[in-house]
Every structure is written in structure tokens, then in C-alpha cells.
Structure 1
Amino acid sequence: MPRVNVSIQVIPRVTGDQDIYDIVDEAIGVIQQSGVKYEVGPMETTMEGEYDELMDVVKRAQEAVIAAGSERVITIVKIDYSPSGVTMEEKVGKYRQR
């Protein structure tokens, strides 16, 4: 199966004095622990891997947000798919600071 890129942005609904960043950190933690290649950005996190594996990570990230106390979560998902495969490096490698 070709490699794809999946970007997610989780938007938790929090109440009271809950810190939204702490809850978003739970979703990022799921991604970190998954073992997939990823990059955290200021607005979303992009992952690289096999489609089914990444979609499972998305599901687990949403569940982690709920488990962290969010009563609801909106998740925006972007998928870049090509039968020949897609990498983050081919898209942004030339912009990385060395």
C-alpha cells in the first residue's frame, strides 16, 4: 500500500478552567506513541504512513481527547493520497532549516 499523508486538527470543546492545549496534547501524545512519522505544526499535525494505520491513529486521538475531559471534539482531517505514494519530505523538504 502506498504511503499517504494525513493531517489532523482536533478542536476540543472544554468547560470551566480546562486548558485546551493540555487536551490537544493528549491527541498529540497518541500520535507520538503510535510510531508513525509525524510533524506537529501550530495548527495541525501531519502524519505519514499507510492509510488504514493513520486513520486508526485519528480515531484513537479523538478518543483520547474525550477521555481527557472534552465533552465533544471536532476533528478536521486532510488526506493526500497518490497510488505512487506521498511523503512530507517531497512537499516541504526544501523549506526546512538545516
Structure 2
Amino acid sequence: MPLLEINIVPVGTNTSSFSSHVGQALRLIEKRGLKYQVTPTSTVIEGELADLMDVAKEIHEEALAGATRVVTNMTIDQRMDKPMTMEQSVESAQESLQ
């Protein structure tokens, strides 16, 4: 299943904090029933590609409501040779340390 890493940078707000924007994004992701993992600098979402693109657009547009400019960065990771989940990706990286 594809993974989407997304981070938003709202510009032109009255605060340097992003936490309210992250909270809004998480509510949108949860509303769609998608699995996600928050990291210190981004959020990784697991789902079908069309669903991921739809929620990314919604997150971006929601952030625009509270800022004069928003920069959204996204990375899509999709394997075609075998199924992949967020957990499997993390486990594989951790196993490579041994």
C-alpha cells in the first residue's frame, strides 16, 4: 500500500507554532479512516493512492484558511514488487542495524 509523507509550512500566520495546523490535518486524516504516524517534522499516511492525494489536497487547502501562504511538501513511496506497510518499513530499517 502506498505511503505519503506530508508536511505543511504555513506562512503569514500570527504564530510560529504549527501544532494547530497538524491537529487539523490529523482530524482530516482520521475522518477518512486512514492510518497515519506523526513524526517530529511530518506525517506519514498509509492508503490507496487516490485517497492519499485527496487528503493531501484537503490538508493543504485547510492550512490556507489560517495563513496567507502555505508550502506543502510530499513524498510518495509505493512498492510494486510486494506489499508494504508503515510498520514493515520501520521494522526492515531496524533489522538492518543488526
1:38 alignment partner, SS class: strand
**What is the aligned residue count?**
92
**Which 5+ residue runs of structure 1 have no aligned equivalent?**
none
The equivalences for 1:1-98 within 5 A come to: 3-17=1-15, 19-67=17-65, 69-83=66-80, 84-93=82-91
Q: Would you say the 8 A contact 1:12–1:24 is kept in 2?
A: no
Task: Tell me the alpha carbon deviations over residues 47-83 of structure 1, each in whole angstroms, 9 at most, x when there is no partner.
Answer: 111111101000000111112x111111110111112
CA separation of 1:44/1:17 partners in 2, compared to 1, >3 Å: closer, same or farther?
A: closer
Q: Would you say the 8 A contact 1:80–1:86 is kept in 2?
A: no
Instruction: Return the TM-score normalized by structure 1.
Output: 0.81
CA RMSD of aligned residues (A): 1.8
Q: Distance in 2 between matches of 1:37 and 1:20?
A: 21
Q: Distance in 2 between matches of 1:25 and 1:79?
A: 21
**Which 5+ residue runs of structure 2 have no aligned equivalent?**
none
Q: Would you say the 8 A contact 1:7–1:79 is kept in 2?
A: yes
Matched residues, percent identical? 35
